[in-house]
Chains A and B, each alone.
Chain A
Amino acid sequence: MDAKIPPGPLADKWNYYKAHARLVNPANRKKMKVIVVGTGLAGASCAASLAEQGYAVDCFCFQDSSRRAHSVAAQGGVNACKNYKNDGDSVYRMFYDTIKGGDFRSREANVYRLAECSAALIDQAVAQGVPFAREYSGYLDNRSFGGVQVSRTFYARGQTGQQLLLGAYQALMRQVHTGKVALHTRHEMLDLVVVEGKAKGIIVRDLETGKLERYAADAVVLASGGYGKIYYLSTLAMGCNASAIWRAHKKGAYMAGVSWVQVHPTSLPQSGQHQSKLTLMSESLRNDGRIWVPLKAGDTRHPNDIPEPERDYYLERRYPSFGNLAPRDISSRAAKERIDAGHGVGAMKNAVYLDFSKAIGEQGKDKIAEKYGNLFTMYQKITGINAYAQPMLISPAAHFTMGGLWVDYTLMSTIAGLFVLGEANFSDHGANRLGANSLLQACVDGYFVAPYTIPDYLAGELKAEKVTTAHPAFDLAEALAQTKIDELLSIQGDLPADYFHKNLGRLLYDTCGLSRSKEGLERAIREIGELRQEFYRRLKVTGDDKVNTELEKAGRVADYLELGALMCRDALAREESCGAHFREEYQTEDGEAMRNDRDFCYVSAWEWQGADQPHVLHPEPLVFEQVALSTRSYK
């Protein structure tokens, strides 16, 4: 596995790359076409940037408008090492925080570039009109976030993702207006077309007419987001799916870090059997909220009636230096530990308290309302509880997938010409992502990295023969996609796609969620196999092949069933605990993760071998030149 890291000292690598990247003559750019799948932060920013440079872009999303992509739901903020607070921040500090937060399972060069480009992103967003929070002096405001000891998070109330996405969406709309981007909403990618080892197009389904369509291009960008929805109950949108990356995977792109899934500590707990999603409450709440459970197991008193000495502020107790701002994996696991030990609260005993009484006492209700007003309102809308008067109930929920398609330093997958951006790729977060780094990564990939690396690739394609949609590879890919649709429609069993999705999700929460064991993972692989067989025997999709959400769901669940098995295999093969991956067999006496740098200091990239063949593992060793591997401690 060659990550194509540029030569030179860490701090100069990206500059070296930029200085040596090939360019395309402006006159030639409009002859080159790029396909972008997904219109979230990564996709929209990449499509807009490439169009501004002069390339022709075909952009796709399955939603009814490109503004709906799930980046919109990110709440807390975006990190950037501007050091506006003069609290000791720097590119290196941010790089180190991120690499440590990822438990030393990411590439130094990628992470350094992420930190290096972060400052420019804030400039970019402000120029686009993103209304970040301001001090009374008119300067940008910051707050702190989990896993770091500086204030480097920029925010727009609790809707930072929405505001950043609207900035990117508007930039994209501007390019649509100029005619350089052709936008195809309500289109879902079904397959990648590879010609002579290079990505040359995609097959999509028009979700309104049901027709399969072909699009050819000189390069393909996947920015289709993460696959956390595989757990069914998650903080993701209902439509989030792995289909685009999974179908590219089956065409030869490797998947990496597949089982590294972040479980977010501050989500609303599940309240019933019909629940379709778990709503996230921004992690920024942990800045001012204190997390606790009753000291006594099974305590049923109202939280306000439990006196201070009978409360267990377990994060402050276990991790005194980071306290309530401990990274997400650690906070989630600590919550699960308390809940499993019988200290859980709420109707289903599956939650912990997030308490603002101290912050309200110190700062006043108005200040808290200004910072988190919309979150408190949202909480009240969903639960009917006023969190100004009593603590919120929160619990962990599947949230972000650090894993995804393997990419090199240029964000190109193992298929030439197939670039993968944002959450869809494995790259910068290692085994655990720090809060407010996902918006950053998506933006940096789309605004600052891809606009250099994709032209570099295209420069080499200028003289290549143009592939049109008449190429036999398109015939084959379309025929296969059609066969798959016909198959799903023809099973006509007795169970809806949701049944399989919910069962898969439950199984993965149990065996491949916050904690994993050899025994559980082996059982899961077996049971997922059985579930998959049952799926192809008993699935029922009603309706026709036009607008049909059941058909869309079935296609996505079919992919999840294959991906779920790979997640378990990945987790099974990694015999250590690192970041979000916690193997019960590998822990210290006091329950902390035990990493094994001697045997597992690598990224696991998996190659698809066919439906009933086991994946082949290609390790990409991680070389650390700048940082010394240390035990990650937030105590």
Chain B
Amino acid sequence: MKIHLKIWRQDERDGPGGMVSYTLDDVTEDMSFLEMLDALNGVLIGKGERVIEFDHDCREGICGQCGLMINGRAHGPLPHVTTCQLHMRSFRDGDTIYIEPFRAAAFPVLRDLKIDRSAFDRIIQSGGYIAAGTGSAPEANSILVAHDTAEAAFDAAACIGCGACVATCKNSSAALFVSAKTVHLSLLPQGKLEAPQRVNAMIAQMNAEQFGPCSNTEACEVECPQQISVLHIARMNWAFNKSRLLGRKG
């Protein structure tokens, strides 16, 4: 099929940019969306033009590196998939597809569709861990974790850090990302002790990174490739409010 594309091109960080139109022939249904972009880049190389820069790596939906705004939706029209899991069978011959980078003040564009998501790393650095030293842990079965607790912790821990939650949020809030980590760790007995400090430190860092406030529109849950529930945000709020009421900010 023939696909028309309008793609955001930008040369450098903080530089000007704009949408550029391309037309690509011979797109097949079994191509993944990123393979379609590979094909376009092949054409651009043939013409001697600079290729379209986009982030991607594992191409199986787990590394979290790919992430595009496709036709105005984070990771494209399907719910709960990453960009690399989107296939061209979701589009029709003659379609025009708009492709833009994930946008937020906290995610500056590096070039074209590549963005800088290091703000997420800095949030984890501020407290997204259990401070267990390496090499000296107690016997694993000495810490019992109820089956359902482990499953619930996993549901939160499944976050791939792609940033779709921020990209689709009208407030550019990172609440879903942050809550996934605070809830994962605080559900487990190993992580409970540090829970108040963790939630306060991570929320402070989230605000410092200029992510916006959460207003519970729940758009993040709809676009999240791992279907992380917005109830995690509520749980994070509960922990945060409780720690402030009890004066345990860490």
- Please report A residues at the B interface, Cβ cutoff 8 Å: 45, 48-49, 52, 63-68, 70, 72-73, 82, 84, 120, 122-129, 131-140, 156-157, 159, 162-163, 166, 169-171, 173-174, 176-177, 183, 185, 208, 237-239, 271-272, 274-277, 279-280, 378, 381-382, 384, 447-448, 451, 494, 496, 498, 540, 542-544, 546-550
Contact = CB atoms under 8 A, between A and B. Distances in A.
B94 to A, nearest CB: 19
B230 interface: no
Contacts of B62: 72-73, 159, 162
A544 B50 contact: yes
B120 to A, nearest CB: 7
A369 B34 CA distance: 29
Contacts of B1: none
Interface of B: 12-13, 28, 30-32, 34-36, 38-39, 41-42, 44-46, 48-51, 53, 55-65, 81, 85, 87, 89, 110-111, 114, 116-118, 120-121, 124-126, 128-135, 137-141, 143-147, 149-151, 153-154, 157-158, 160-161, 184-185, 188, 190-191
B35 A275 contact: yes
A131 B161 contact: no
Scoring A45, A82, A137, A549 by chain B CB atoms within 10 A of each residue's CB, the highest score goes to A549
- The 8 A-B pairs at the shortest CB distance, nearest first, are namely A138-B144, A170-B129, A127-B137, A543-B50, A127-B132, A123-B137, A547-B111, A131-B154
A73 B63 contact: yes
A70 B58 contact: yes
Nearest to A374: B158
Contacts of A122: 140
Contacts of A132: 140, 150
8 contacts: A72-B62, A73-B62, A125-B140, A131-B145, A131-B188, A134-B149, A139-B141, A140-B141
Given A120-B137, A542-B45, A70 B63 contact: yes
A136 B35 contact: no
Contacts of A546: 12, 111
Nearest to B225: A381
A283 to B, nearest CB: 15
> In terms of DSSP, what is the predominant structure of the interface of chain B?
loop
Contact of B157 (A63, A166, A173, A498): A166
A156 B152 CA distance: 12
B132 A128 contact: yes
B135 A49 contact: yes
Given A68-B57, A73-B62, A237-B59, A134 B145 contact: yes
A75 B38 CA distance: 26
Contacts of B138: 123, 127
B129 A65 contact: no
B182 to A, nearest CB: 12
Nearest to A74: B62
Contacts of B154: 131, 156-157, 159, 163
B91 to A, nearest CB: 14
Contacts of A542: 44-45, 48-51
Contact of B129 (A128, A133, A162, A183): A128
A239 B118 CA distance: 19
B246 to A, nearest CB: 23
A126 B134 contact: no
Contacts of B81: 381
Contacts of B128: 170, 173
A174 B145 contact: no
B157 A239 contact: no
Scoring B132, B146, B191 by chain A CB atoms within 10 A of each residue's CB, the highest score goes to B132
B142 to A, nearest CB: 9
Scoring A134, A136, A277 by chain B CB atoms within 10 A of each residue's CB, the highest score goes to A134
Contact of B57 (A120, A129, A237, A547): A237
B137 A173 contact: no
B28 A127 contact: no
Contacts of B50: 542-544, 548
A484 B172 CA distance: 42
Contacts of A237: 57-59, 63
Contacts of A72: 58, 62-64, 160
A411 to B, nearest CB: 16
B134 A171 contact: yes
A124 B30 contact: no
Contacts of B141: 82, 84, 139-140
Given A129-B191, A237-B57, A276-B59, 16 more contacts: A63-B65, A65-B118, A68-B65, A72-B62, A127-B130, A128-B132, A129-B153, A138-B146, A163-B154, A173-B124, A174-B129, A238-B58, A272-B28, A272-B30, A540-B48, A542-B51
A129 B130 contact: yes
A129 B38 contact: no
A65 B120 contact: yes
B77 to A, nearest CB: 13
A275 B60 CA distance: 13
A159 to B, nearest CB: 6
A82 B157 CA distance: 25
A280 B85 CA distance: 13
B134 A45 contact: yes
A63 B145 CA distance: 34
Contact of A176 (B35, B125, B135, B143): B125
B181 to A, nearest CB: 8
Nearest to A159: B158
B114 A547 contact: yes
Scoring A132, A171, A274, A276 by chain B CB atoms within 10 A of each residue's CB, the highest score goes to A274
Nearest to A279: B60
Contacts of A183: 121
Contacts of B158: 159, 162
Contacts of A120: 135, 137
Contacts of A275: 30, 35
A358 B159 CA distance: 33
B199 to A, nearest CB: 15
Contacts of B53: 547-549
A509 B150 CA distance: 41
Nearest to B114: A547
Nearest to B53: A547
Contacts of B121: 65-67, 173, 176, 183, 185
Contacts of B191: 129
Contacts of A45: 134
Given A64-B116, A542-B45, A549-B53, A274 B137 contact: no
Nearest to B150: A134
B144 to A, nearest CB: 3
Contacts of A135: 147
B57 A381 contact: no
Nearest to A62: B57
Scoring A128, A137, A546 by chain B CB atoms within 10 A of each residue's CB, the highest score goes to A128
Contacts of A496: 41-42, 45
